[in-house]
Amino acid sequence: MERGLLAPLSPNEQTALRRVANGISKPKHLRLTSVERLKHLALVEENDGRIRLTPLGEQRCRTDRTVADVAAPAA
C-alpha cells in the first residue's frame, strides 16, 4: 500500500491521476499505460466502465497538492 504513496509518477501518470481526481473517469479520455500503472500502484480502480480514485489515490492527491503548495514560490 505504501508503495502507491512513494513511487515516483511520470508526468503522464500525474496528469492521469489529476484528471481522475477532477472527475474525468472514462478510460477513453485517459492514457491506457498511465491508468494501468496507477491501477498497479492501487491509486485507481475501474468499476462500471469508470476509473475512480481509491482511498490511497485520494491520499496521494492530497499529499501531492501539499508538496506542490510548499514548493510553489509565493506571489
**For the chain, which domains are there?**
2-65 (1.10.10)
The confidence score (pLDDT) of residue 68 equals 53
The DSSP letter of residue 49 is T
Global pTM reads 0.82
Q: Could you give the CA distance from residue 19 to residue 24 in angstroms, rounded to a whole number?
A: 5
Would you state the cell numbers that stand for residue 59, as one nine-digit string? 491520499
Print pLDDT tens along the chain (75 aa): 588 888 999 999 999 999 999 999 899 999 999 999 999 999 999 999 999 999 999 999 998 876 555 555 655
Strand, helix or coil for residue 73: coil
